Structure 1
């Protein structure tokens, strides 16, 4: 066995350690992710403690050393990797703009106070998106309204980036150009900084959701009008998820709203939370504490007194339903490729212009060695999103495998061009947590070998 191959017994002990110390759940079917991410952990630990840069040695060191906050921060940096960008999930932000925020503004008209919590905020794109939306809907909030947006994450590296508020154009994919022009200052050709006014609206803080430290007066985690926690529950065991949802419930004000990602909705089983279905997304409303009867129907979804057009009618959906794309992604991850292909085709049929749907289909074809079909889907992906880094990279690999080296070189060079516009620490979407800097080194090596 090679010295840096992590044996099962060691990765099992590491999984238990991470679960005990951090609450993060890495069952056996996710050991592959844990093994891959330990390369970065080993590099950081080796640099700080002057030990050999080797994942096996690093794990043995972690298992026999009292772990400090600095050690846990390194683990969090590499084991909790978020993929995010501004105004991610158009359905959600449309529902917030048309239904949720108008009602909330009406209800808070006297107090003029709104409290929002982004739990698992990653590098800050979500809370800043919420700040932009608030600014659009309450332009005079600085004078008359008190809007507090709390943003927390376990990953200290992500929080450091979020507090700086500096982003590359990759964070603005699928974001209207006027958003960047109005709310960001261009620092140079690569970087854009969020406006000081919006920075002041968001307070960042490190928090591990498994810890029983909230709700709390001290941390101001209480009486929240809306809590966002998307793509976070998947890191925890079912029993831990229930504890976190209970603490979220206690942290909400009466009739406050809780929002998860669509794939996490089946995890929500709380008698005090009533689902509210809006097109493309599901919210969970806290039932008023003194009410022992069925919750009253939700108010007019467009209570804004302005003569705006009526929003789309609410279409009920099953609480445990999962979008075809997420079903396809889940099935592909466990190797059930034929079923994954079926659901991925359904997702494309529903949303033909979503580049990530076509990319997933391309990866399924690739795993099945259906290279011609994979190339076709990747070409479609790039047509829909000319800045889809991983699509160029996979296309280069496929062309190289087919012996079409000139085309492979072109796609690798396109990949390099996009990566040069990103920060080295930026996490690439649809890459299973790979940083831009790591892929850039790999691509440059491949280009050199082909020269």
Structure 2
């Protein structure tokens, strides 16, 4: 394969995929990309040489892309995925919306499940609406579900699911909405299936909601776990189109890992626990919305703090040899049956073994140290977080950057409202020179806690060294504003004992006065 798909050919196809799907394959995933290309060529019954030669031919591109997206798009989903989100939809957002429409005597709802894969998400929404609306047949419900992968859409329209699609708590009784089939699958009831309209859609090329209802008409858009695979430029364009599709007061919901991607002049973010919502705000009401937005809260951990003295000079990480974008390590997922006390599965360590962990780190036995963390309980405790951060630094020091960042993402997932893990991830990306990605992670840190001083200083450092002094100054001034609210002698958290007064003086020096 390598003889046929040389670097130039791979680059050509990579650019073709990026332009047509927004999905970015970096150098770490070249092997995966080659495998997907080979699979597509096998389906098309053509040799690799033909694929490379014809990739710029418009008539070939249509067929090639249609097959290729079946391999490069991810179909991992299940019913009521993300329990906290669907609890919020069940108990707050949808009941409030329904109540409002009843008061207005306008019984309609407009919802879009973008990148719906095999249909579990839109069907979960349809089931939830049938559960909440006793008079559902009196409502005009438009529930659009779209995906670029026609194979997945065909599966969704068929409405047949294995038991694996029901692996999380459904939150409401769902037995009446499914019937078993002889091959041990579950078929969705027609009363639910007919509520969802499935369409093939490429979010890069035609993501705006244009149909008989017109644009700017949607109450709710779910677009989760897809923006993260796009390039920064194209994810921004998609977000702009999605927001255009919302009515004023409508909500866009993405995954917690994607909140830093959603930005715009007319977007206001709210959060309820771990659920983040981006509301489309009328321009005239934007100032008022700023005043009433709910405040954000978080939990701080002080062990192994990132010294702000390094951040202020644009060095984000105490140990600098870190690069690359992560994959999750393959050994950190535990079977659901393997719970504490179950001798047949994983044995959990109920108390942290710091001495044993530190010895493994010192002996560079990092895989064993990782397994020790995976078998620890409770997770997200200060000891667990301390060990995670040490492991991340150790992997980075070894140059095993994918594992370092994989564990960084796991640390973020443990508490999406803790701003510090985003700072750690930003440091990794910054060291590689991936400044846009680093800024994205730092913005997520500020979403979690808007007055998080290290994040403002880190953003300023990136802007300073990338030749954007005005933006750097803005964040330095924000940092000073934060420090003005503190007593001058207050020792700042996550510093090496620096008081607020001295930190302010250091920033003033960087500002030139």
TM-score bracket, shorter-length normalisation: 0.5 to 0.7
> Is the partner of 1:67 in helix, strand or coil?
helix
Unaligned runs of 5+ in 2: 300-321, 341-345, 347-360, 378-513
Q: Partner of 1:139 in structure 2?
A: 134
Aligned pairs for 1:347-358 within 5 A? none
Which residue is equivalent to 2:42?
43
Give the 3 Å change call, closer, same or farther, for CA 213–96 of structure 1 in structure 2.
Answer: closer
Which of these two proteins has the greater Rg computed from alpha carbons?
2
Taking structure 2 as the reference length, the TM-score comes to: 0.56
Say if 1:212 and 1:252 are closer, same or farther in 2 by CA, change over 3 A.
same
Residue 127 of structure 1 and its aligned partner are, at CA, apart by 0.3
Alignment match of 2:205 (pick from 194, 203, 211): 211
**Which position in structure 1 is the counterpart of 2:151?**
157
Q: Partner of 2:297 in structure 1? A: 316
CA contact (8 A) 1:278 1:316 kept: no
Residues 1:9 and 2:8 are matched in the alignment: yes
Q: Within 5 A, what are the aligned runs for 1:25-40?
A: 25-40=24-39
Asked if structure 2 preserves the Cα contact closer than 8 Å seen for 1:45 and 1:58, the reply is no
Task: Confirm or deny: 8 A CA contact 2:216 2:248 kept in the other structure.
Answer: no
Aligned partner (choices 87, 110, 135) of residue 94 of structure 1: 87
CA drift of 1:178 comes to 7.2
Deviates more, 1:195-204 or 1:175-184: 175-184
Q: Counterparts in 2 of 1:44-443, with a 5 A limit?
A: 44-46=43-45, 51-52=46-47, 55=48, 58-63=51-56, 66-109=59-102, 110-142=105-137, 144-176=138-170, 179-212=173-206, 214-218=208-212, 222-295=216-289, 297=292, 316=297, 334=326, 370=367
Partner of 1:21: 20
Over 3 Å counting, the alpha-carbon distance change for 1:210 and 1:176 in structure 2 is closer
Structure 1: gaps (5+ residues): 300-313, 319-329, 359-364, 381-451
Provide Cα deviations, 1:46-83, integer angstroms capped at 9, x if missing partner: 1xxxx23xx56544443456335332211111111221
RMSD: 3.7
Separation of aligned partners in 1, 2:120 and 2:328: 33
Change (3 A) 1:77 1:2: closer
What is the TM-score with the length of structure 1 in the denominator?
Answer: 0.64
Please say if residues 123 and 161 of structure 1, whose CA atoms lie closer than 8 Å, have aligned partners that are also in contact: yes
Please say if residues 277 and 317 of structure 1, whose CA atoms lie closer than 8 Å, have aligned partners that are also in contact: no
Q: Partner of 1:393 in structure 2?
A: none
Greater shift in the superposed pair: 250-259 or 283-292: 283-292
Q: Deviations along 1:370-414, whole A, 9 cap, x unmatched? A: 479759969x9xxxxxxxxxxxxxxxxxxxxxxxxxxxxxxxxxx
